Amino acid sequence: MKNQKLNKIQKKAVEDVCNPVLIFAGAGSGKTRVLTHKIVHLIEKGLFKPEEILAVTFTNKAAEEMSKRVQSLLKQKNVSLNIGTFHSICSRLLRQEIHRLGFSKDFVIYDVQDQTALIRVVMDELNIARSYVDPKSVRNKISFYKNKLMDFEEAKRSARTVLDKTICDIFKKYQSSLKKNNALDFDDLLLFPLVLFEEFPDVLKKYQEKWKYILVDEYQDTNRPQFLFISSIATAHNQICVVGDDDQSIYGWRGADIRNILDFEKTFPGCEIYKLEQNYRSTQQILNAASAVVKNNEDRALKELKAMNGAGDRLGLLETNDEMEEADALISVLEKEIKMNKRTFSDFAVLYRTNAQSRALEDSLRQNGIPYKIIGGIRFYERKEVKDLLAYLQLLVNKQDTISLRRVINFPPRGIGLKTVDKCVQEAKKCKKELFDVLGDPSKMNIRGKQAEELKTFYEIMSKYNDLLDKLNAGELVRTLVDETGMLKHYKKQDTLEDQERINNINEVLNSVDEFMTRSPNAMLTDFLEEVSLLTGIDNWNDQENRVTLMTVHSAKGLEFPVVFLTGMEDGLFPLYNALQDKQELEEERRLFYVGLTRAKQNVFLLYANNRRRAGAEQFYGLVSRFIGEIPEDHLENINFSSALTRKVIGSKRGYSKMEVKRTVTVFDDFRVGDLVKHAIFGVGKIMALSGSGENQRVGVVFKDGLKKKLIVKFAKLKKVS
């Protein structure tokens, strides 16, 4: 849609500046285009200065794209734009205001690893065994409380079990430990501005006057704290435009509230509502299939998407025996698409519900020599050697950060064991000093010999570079620190391929610091650390690489590909088993499936397995996903993939074998998906899956009491119920 003008509805939404505006933007309807044009309209018409406009997105990649488009349309560079994610906007605000809450502006942001490490320390101090409660579970529970705007006292009042009360005790100490470390977690970044707004009305007034027009992208994904942040600022002027699609609300599990978009009119009375229903991404076949599924949700706004790219092909449906055959079938279809339709590897996205599904897919891709990349695996900045270097830098800017201190005090190995660290912790408590400050005098803690020397050397190095923070360029400072600590020397000594990779990763961090300083010459090391801490997996995605992309459906949000494979389409996997018992969760799973389908521009292939290995050796027998049953038959084309014993193998120039795939419409004997049938024992049920033919025909039936059975037709003696 880059070279097209705004359509009629888009133009109206852009030019409406008299009222609060809600834009329901269906998948592929050009919402980013509308947002960027609206920002430009506000500036060019002289309605608002660039610095008076706040635009909020959910990923750094989206913020960067929006900023580039606005500057391009304005034909100006270095326009003072406030465009960023909720976390980055709030972080910037807190750097200015957090001193009012007893923190220093040099606070560090703890990622998931850091949070878990701190919770382990807290649990040890409270003598709570990790066998009793997992630190990761505690972290998730604390995050849940924070998203619900509950402090530890309120959480404890609501606790019903001894375990929940214990978690609340950990929560209390965890929060005080964060403050002691001058650290915030991701949830705090959103919560603390609200605390400031409530306790210091002048702070709220300041930002109401600063940001006079608010735009929010992906509004359906906002949680309670994000909603309150936006509404607190926007209600002063009532100048707000939000864009979203309730059918793409897929983050309820992390606190997103679909009611924020559905109840927007209640929050901002008199708002104008626009529906963007022209789709510039997908074919009509894909849109019709996606709409047919999501229409089964009750909690949604009505909309009808119309494709601008023609009718297109039906969605391919592949039944396979197990996850290995599913992967083989996928490869075969992929190779056929490359051969017949001149596609490249980067045209394909393979989506799955859970990360665990990627293993069989990866194995098959590797065996067939097909290049691929995984989005959402271990991120670059989460790798051990990278985290070690970042911990040094975090300690450098914030000597109160005990989690980073514990991480690097014996890396590279200095002979400083846990007992020595415990002695330092006890001394700090006794003297009421920071842990870092006691390291310079080991004799006070009865630490002698080599350990004492190493402690003192570590203390002196970190103190020296802390003093140099304002005197040296960040790039120069980090390179010198790496050299003096001996990180690279340590890995060079090991001399393995893995260690060479670690050396490369450390050098890559050094390069990223240099690049950051080139982009922002006046920035501080704190700014670099903040940028790194707020990166998401998708921010590193490069669509120029000629590789097949593998990712969860959640990770695919906001992306598009010519061809999309949706794998693991079985009840219990997609939708997840737990969602089958809960209406709201099932509706969110359905929205997630809708998101998966609408990532595709031209073709969708749906794959399911009759048998799938779960939890090691356990075999799971599944029924085809109910979502496939919700797609009208005339939008589906069954692709017959031969079984492992009978598939036709043909030669390949690349030295591997591949399976021939025949595209045919499979006709089953007497039964169809959706038929009501009666069984002599189990009663009336609905056919959800079909496989095989003749004497080997099998049906998957869900009976009225929820009982699921896979039956061989010739033995089951099923009767159709009209």
d(CA 565, CA 616): 25
Q: Identify the residue whose tokens are 């969760």.
A: 585
| Residue 671 to residue 692: CA distance in whole angstroms | 11
Q: What are phi and psi of 371, to 5 degrees?
A: -70, 140
156 forms beta bridges with none
Cβ neighbours of residue 669 closer than 8 Å, sequence gap 6 or more: 693, 694, 697, 713
Which residues have CB under 8 Å from 12's CB, separation 6+? 274
Q: Give the integer Cα–Cα distance in Å for 334 and 312.
A: 18
Total H helices, total E strands in the chain? 28, 27
Closest CA to 589 of 631, 626, 561: 626
Place of tokens 């079909």: 690
E strand spans, 364-427? 372-374
Do residues 151 and 196 touch, judged by C-beta distance below 8 A?
Answer: no
What are the catalytic residues? 31-32, 217-218, 248, 599
Name the region of 149 (left: φ>0; alpha: ψ -120 to 50; beta: rest).
left
Is residue 547 within 8 Å of residue 372, measured between CB atoms? yes
Q: Which residue has the tokens 């790039």?
A: 475
| Single-letter residue type at 22 | L
**Euclidean distance between CA atoms 678 and 717, whole angstroms:** 9
- Token readout for 523 is 């920035």
Contact 695, 668 (CB under 8 A): no
Evaluated on CA atoms 320, 322, 325, 327, the torsion sign reads positive
Strand order in the sheet with 272-276: 82-85, 53-57, 213-216, 240-244, 21-25, 272-276
Non-local CB neighbours of 515 within 8 Å, separated by 6+ positions: none
Pairing of strands 676-679, 698-703: unpaired
What is the rounded CA–CA span in Å between residue 453 and residue 443? 10
Residues 6+ apart with CB under 8 A from 467: none
Q: Which DSSP category does 256 fall into?
A: B
Which stretch of DSSP H or E encloses residue 690?
Answer: strand 683-691
CA distance 163 to 269: 44
Query: Which residue is it, tokens 């300083």?
Result: 517
Check: CB of residue 685 under 8 Å from CB of residue 641.
no
- Nearby residues of 29 by Cβ (< 8 Å), 6 or more positions away: 276, 277, 278, 279, 280, 305
Q: Is residue 185 left, alpha or beta, with left meaning phi > 0 and alpha meaning psi from -120 to 50?
A: beta
Neighbours of 236 (CB within 10 A): 14
